[in-house]
Amino acid sequence: MQKPLRWYDSLTINIYFFGLTLRAQTLTPLILPLLVQQFVGEASKGASYGNIRLYSLMIAVLVQALAGMLSDRSTSRWGKRRPFMLASSLLEALVFIAIGIIAARMEGMAGYNALFAAVIASMVFSNIGQGAAQGLIPDLVPPDKQGRFAGIKALLELPLPLIFMAFFVSRMIAAGNLWGAILTVIITLLVCTALAMLVRETPQEKAPYPLDWNAIARLVAMTAAFTLVILLAGWGVQQLIP
């Protein structure tokens, strides 16, 4: 049963996406290219960055779908979605700290490999929360109000975190203050998660349907096939253009 909505639920249901977008827009276009160049140099940074992006994006697609399926079946007393979101943010904070340590203490291919592993872990952890959070509006908001809530979600998901990043995080990184940027992202993500914990979910007594292992296998196979197609396309281009 859906509980009555409070005046601030449009914020608490959607604020989590502000933290997720800030995290993504800080890591991918700002921190990652900088560190890849630091570890592998100017000549190899394009291919090295591309490898991280390919595998991390495929992992993100897979994990987000799986997290959504698993949270649909969750019988936690804290609700279907919030336990996934909380665990995701806490683990993601640890990964960002690890990235800061890697940047400060490692170099060369060892640093690149550690960064690669950290980015993959980041994609796993962040998409656990994102896959679950996508179900909050369908779970909690009546159909006649979902359009308004989706509009607020879009605002918190795209323009507002980008503005915040441009005025604060990007300036820290430009000034060489990587730890300042990392801590800003961590604090913002944890604050957004704490506000999202105010959402009132009704726990379900039992899973609504059995886990569909065939669907999971198809999802894994499709993701692997898509990755293989991209790798083969890249190899083909390399053969055509020496």
pLDDT 10s digits, 78-89: 999 999 999 999
158 with 174, same domain: the answer is yes
50 lies in some domain? yes
Its sign, for the CA torsion 133, 120, 52, 227, is: negative
Please give the residue range of the domain that contains residue 232.
Answer: 212-242
Confirm if 93 and 190 have CB atoms less than 8 A apart.
yes
Per-residue model confidence as pLDDT tens digits over 18-53:
999 999 999 999 999 999 999 999 988 999 999 999
* CA distance to 10, 93, 168, 176, 234, per residue, from 32 (Å): 33, 16, 18, 14, 21
Question: Do 34 and 56 share a domain, yes or no?
Answer: yes
Are residues 168 and 201 both part of a single domain? yes
Residue 54's CB is within 10 A of a number of other CB atoms, namely 14
Residue with tokens 């990652």: 32
The one-letter amino acid at 85: M
pTM value surpassing 0.85: yes
pLDDT greater than 60 at residue 1: no
The token pair at 66 is 């799986």
Whether 196 and 232 map to the same domain: the answer is no
Are 29 and 188 in contact by the 8 Å Cβ rule? The answer is: no
- How far CA 196 is from CA of 31, 58, 81, 219, in Å, comes to 26, 27, 10, 29
Q: Which two tokens stand for residue 179?
A: 């730890």
* pLDDT value of position 2: 65
Q: Are residues 175 and 236 in the same domain?
A: no
Q: How many domains does the chain have?
A: 2
